[in-house]
Chain A
């Protein structure tokens, strides 16, 4: 639909005020259709089907199954492994999100000072972000093994008492997974914060210093508030990613010892594909979905409000 216009010479209309007619110009439906079709086929429809299966006892194969109402959910409530994995999902997500941002911010602040090593260090810290988590997890599995390099280095450094069964005892196992995941994610938080820091106008920090503010005060009253949007982005992104954590846990501990490191992701996978209890697995997934949505929306709400207060 060509808008009627007198400028047949092709002069851009930016010199005129935009007309309301152009603002409601339609875009053909077939621009949207293919993307919508694939999205519905691959994501939306299966998710709805998943909710349906949560109320059945389907084993993933037989064409016939029974509707069992809330039986799967009742079983979930009484299943110590499922309850524990719900808890551990949050423990991992919150620990990783917090530490990733803390360390990422610290690294960004450090690298923002004009160090000589700044560029190589930035590359080094960011590189693990793009490496394949599955492959790196096997490397960490070796590092954390009882006779492995970590314990060897600790012994050589005279810290023999700190040698642990990194993957065999429950608390060290959790720590190991957090460390392995952080190694590959801290660099991402760092570059986002670096970009944020570099966009803070120098006059602001200068003005604060001239007013007599020390470095901590500059950080607290100028830098951090200006970084609020970057903080929202990284924290929400960390939460979403670490709530779905799978590869590292699957390789390092398989959910063990016992089920000390089992999360909803690994539990759903085992339930559905090793034990063929897809009805029960779907019920766990439903609970998981609600939990994730709740946490992410809550975090978004809190962080956005902080952004507005300081922005």
Chain B
């Protein structure tokens, strides 16, 4: 007999208290069943393993996530990529990895989706999956599964202070000869032309990668497939010319002294303090450069390596993105965060904090346009290629390249020897 039954109310005498209690109980039960739950009452706990260079952008997104879902906490740890190479794999194998991880496309280093594919979840069912340009399929998919969410594009070029170049009348080069001439002018003015940070392991490959597009990919955009098929080898390709040009920069005295003893932080600080004119690094380092210099008047210049201005190519890659730990693929928190990350507002926040062009659609950003102007020209003309190592079958060849550059700079080996060992590792 419920309280709503008029007959029970008629029998109030002696049973009024009991019926009142019954009414209360029934009311509560009804209320609990039908009470609408507000979406904002959800709160999520998750961990994020981020790359140091993306700490500031990631934090910007985390702050907005926590604002949208109060009570949530996103525990972010940041590490340099060399550390991530080991810690990501070890923690995934141990089952202790964060729910959301930083990964890279392809298969050519320890944190690529190819190398980690057994540990990360398929994102094809997520709402943002259709928004990722099909042209990036080769980068973000492995075995047909969508394994990473790319947010920003990155390139490798010389980050330089625009005001200094303007006041000295230095113009951006379009051929190798012009580039050498520019360095000569910089050197004559008393500044170090190129700050080098080869003490940090992953920095070694960057100048090679900056030069390769003009030398190798301008002539043969299918170089990666050819190498895969064995039709061509590193030792007999434009790689040799690229490495020799790298060393030429050192011979001509354009690199800062003691490159092997300089870390990337010191390298960036040399440019920030005005001692050096440029640092050839990934565009992801712009945020740190701003922090060290205390101002944002920088731009990034692609590095030409050919004598023909029409063969001036550069890199354009979805470099680091985010993946979901396979163990956490069903976790509400991880899914919520990934979806939030892919929303246009988040992409804007991330990209402007990271000062990068984006992969996913986003709002126009005049600062990014200014900084990447020279790169955009090449990008729009289709004269770009992804980072060379993303199709490599194992991470060994990259490691031999990095260590090999250090040895070359120290005069301990030859270009032929390094390329031969890279070929051996690639083909193993």
Whether chain B is bound by chain A comes out as yes
Contact present for B410 and A170 (CB under 8 Å):
yes
Q: How far is the CA of A273 from the CA of B89 in the complex (A)?
A: 7
Q: Which of A145, A170, A254, A274 contacts B89 (CB 8 A)?
A: A274
Residues in B with CB closer than 8 Å to A196 are: none
Asked if A160 lies at the interface with its beta carbon under 8 angstroms from chain B, I say no
Q: How far is the CA of A274 from the CA of B402 in the complex (A)?
A: 15
Interface stretch of the complex, out of B136-144, B255-263, B355-363: B255-263
Asked if B93 lies at the interface with its beta carbon under 8 angstroms from chain A, I say yes
A276 closest partner in B (C-beta): B89
Contact present for A146 and B261 (CB under 8 Å):
yes
Asked if B284 lies at the interface with its beta carbon under 8 angstroms from chain A, I say no
B4 to chain A, nearest CB (A): 63
Residues in A with CB closer than 8 Å to B412 are: 170, 258, 260
Asked if A205 lies at the interface with its beta carbon under 8 angstroms from chain B, I say no
Asked if A257 lies at the interface with its beta carbon under 8 angstroms from chain B, I say yes
Residues in A with CB closer than 8 Å to B263 are: 145
Residues in A with CB closer than 8 Å to B407 are: 257-259
Contact present for A254 and B410 (CB under 8 Å):
no
B412 closest partner in A (C-beta): A258
Asked if B225 lies at the interface with its beta carbon under 8 angstroms from chain A, I say no
Contact present for B90 and A256 (CB under 8 Å):
no
Contact present for A165 and B395 (CB under 8 Å):
no
A255 closest partner in B (C-beta): B403
B21 to chain A, nearest CB (A): 61
B90 closest partner in A (C-beta): A273
Asked if B57 lies at the interface with its beta carbon under 8 angstroms from chain A, I say no
Q: How many residues of A contact B (CB 8 A)?
A: 24
B258 closest partner in A (C-beta): A165
Q: How far is the CA of A168 from the CA of B261 in the complex (A)?
A: 4
Contact present for B110 and A168 (CB under 8 Å):
no
Q: How far is the CA of A259 from the CA of B93 in the complex (A)?
A: 27
Asked if A166 lies at the interface with its beta carbon under 8 angstroms from chain B, I say yes
Q: How many residues of B contact A (CB 8 A)?
A: 33
Asked if A156 lies at the interface with its beta carbon under 8 angstroms from chain B, I say no
A88 to chain B, nearest CB (A): 14
Convert A115-147 into 0s and 1s, putting 1 for each residue whose CB lies closer than 8 angstroms to a CB of B: 000000000000000000000000000000111
Contact present for B86 and A273 (CB under 8 Å):
yes
Interface residues of A in 229-271 (CB under 8 A from B): 254, 256-260, 270
Residues in B with CB closer than 8 Å to A80 are: 421
Contact present for B89 and A168 (CB under 8 Å):
no
Q: How far is the CA of A276 from the CA of B85 in the complex (A)?
A: 11
Q: Knowing A61-B118, A258-B407, A276-B89 touch, does A168 contact B260 (C-beta < 8 A)?
A: yes
Q: How far is the CA of A254 from the CA of B85 in the complex (A)?
A: 13
Convert A51-92 into 0s and 1s, putting 1 for each residue whose CB lies closer than 8 angstroms to a CB of B: 000000000110000000000000000001100000000000
Asked if B201 lies at the interface with its beta carbon under 8 angstroms from chain A, I say yes
Residues in A with CB closer than 8 Å to B115 are: 276
Asked if A167 lies at the interface with its beta carbon under 8 angstroms from chain B, I say yes
A267 to chain B, nearest CB (A): 12
A274 to chain B, nearest CB (A): 5
Q: Knowing A145-B266, A274-B89, A275-B396 touch, does A168 contact B259 (C-beta < 8 A)?
A: yes
Contact present for B403 and A259 (CB under 8 Å):
yes
Asked if A206 lies at the interface with its beta carbon under 8 angstroms from chain B, I say no
Q: How far is the CA of A147 from the CA of B85 in the complex (A)?
A: 28
Residues in B with CB closer than 8 Å to A275 are: 110, 394-396, 399
Residues in B with CB closer than 8 Å to A260 are: 410, 412
Q: How far is the CA of A146 from the CA of B199 in the complex (A)?
A: 11
Residues in A with CB closer than 8 Å to B266 are: 145-147
Ordered by A's residue number, 23 sampled pairs between the chains whose C-beta atoms are within 8 Å are A61-B93, A81-B403, A165-B257, A165-B261, A167-B199, A167-B260, A168-B199, A168-B260, A169-B258, A169-B261, A170-B412, A254-B201, A257-B410, A258-B404, A258-B407, A258-B413, A259-B407, A273-B86, A273-B89, A273-B90, A274-B85, A276-B89, A276-B110
